[in-house]
Structure 1
Amino acid sequence: MSSIISISGVTKTYATGFKALKEINLDIERGEIFALLGPNGAGKTTLISIVCGIVNRSSGTVTVDGHDIGRDYRAARSLIGLVPQELTIDAFETVWATVNYSRGLFGKAPNKDFVEKVLRDLSLWEKKDSKAITLSGGMKRRLMIAKALSHEPRVLFLDEPTAGVDVELRQDMWAMVRRLREDGVTIILTTHYIEEAEAMADRVGVINKGEIILVEGKAELMRKLGRKQMTLELRAPLSAVPDGLSRYALELSADGNQLTYTYDNQSDRPGVASLIRDLEAAGVQFRDLDTKNSSLEEIFVNLLRQEP
């Protein structure tokens, strides 16, 4: 799969001397949903703003579908839709006028059918004649997305798109994002709702203190860094873990009725099949077991804890 965005050696140092970004190298693949995760102040919004031409980089290069964002700004920017964190809409313009005006800013000819489709997809059609000031917070957020889509971009940046949005509207938005991806639009999102990234993203990048510390396919990331946990419901309580099971570092519940085994794909701990055999040999019987994998949120938190 070819890259639609290529970021090479990008840095950003402010006049105060603060280094917001340090040698960022990142390629975004065409047609993927890429989640950029990081704590507040990590550099997520700065990086997005540089790609979108809102903030000047200190060094490095950025291309969008082969167009350099400095030398060929208009061509690069015309390919990008941006939904920023802050609401930036004219409070006294109607929904219809807002989206059509945004389309015109990119030199696109009027297209009533396309604008109607965007508004319908975002459940804004019945509000098309309403002024922005009368909309709820969630509807204003939808209007921001409609503005970003008005000029038919091939890349869509969503910077905390569902902040302050209720669950129903959030689900509608992600259904729309999936449809956009099916149409070939590349989606880059930042979000504090890590379960959204887990549900939506093809790949995940983690940025911290202005540096990319990891880029990995979501499934591969969870396979390599995820932890697994198996809990056994015992037929009879134990007062202590038998000596023959010490190599598994099992945790015994306070009441002695449960044994928990935690393992991952990178450790040298023995597998589940070996544990079951050794339990039988030790005379430990269980009546039920439950397994679970760590979430993307747990992996993310652990990664940040490991950072110096």
Structure 2
Amino acid sequence: MTGAPRVVVLAGGVGGSKFVLGVRSALRARGLDDPTAHLTVVVNTGDDLWLSGVRLQPDVDSITYALAGVNDAERGWGRAGDTERVNGELGEWGAGWPWFTLGDLDLGTHLARTGWLREGLTPTQVLERMSHRWRLGARLLPMTDAEVDTVVVLRDGTRLHFQEWWTRHRATLAPARFENPGIGDALPAPGVTEAIAAADAVLIAPSNPVVSIGPILAVPGVREALRSASAPVVGVSPIIGGKVVRGMADVCLTAIGVETSAAAVASLYGARAAGGVLDAWLIAEEDAPAAAEVAGLGIRPLVRPLWMTDASRRTALGEAALAAAGV
């Protein structure tokens, strides 16, 4: 193709933020010093929550902080060099969740967001305002402006907010299913389906396929936009060597009856030719034997190094995903 490609990435969580950094870096390597007009990231908002009167958007903030270069790369969440004085004071009052740490700088973000929401701004408008602070090199869009927080339903019927199940219990309580109440009536955030329709490449990050990418695809209209897109849809496996890279995605996959393997996640997404969303699927070198199984699904397999352990590897993966989409 001629000219700079228009790229859309569906992402959430730490894996998503690392991948977005890689795609941005790959675009910069092509001469786009500021790829903002060419890179759109549709971010999962299914793990959002209200806590101590403020609205938290963990995946939105993780990706924003990563692109801004202010994230705590070691912990994988929050701001680098943050302190926790306010969090400690909340604990003294018996407020908040003692097992859910809120950094002071991070709380500044949540307070600003909550104030704007209470003034009548939508989450899309809030995220646009947040993006003005730093030179992100990408346009960020929430998957929807509706509140569709994730609820984990345990096998005994107990219902927990996803963050309680994930952060407090570390996914040790066996889930029966995951729900996003109200998502059936939600709409894609303004600009989401339009960006997909205008894209030259659509990339699905190696994020948790159940609770990060799953909610994005569950917003009515998003899956249909992917199926009708003129651009190739390329996904990156979050499974390397039959194991999850980070977090407890294997527990999530088991809960919905999906094996923790690169081929099984490809099958979960499905081939566009068969009513799914994928044209191509990047799998790790450790999973090369699964290429034939992926091809049998009607999805083009590409074996590539998937570890994003440093900036050069992130960039190489971003470039590999773009190349897989033919841009």
Instruction: Say yes or no: TM over 0.5.
Output: no
* Greater per-residue strand proportion: 1
TM-score (ref. length: structure 2): 0.29
Q: Find the structure with the greater CA-based Rg.
A: 1
* Greater per-residue helix proportion: 2
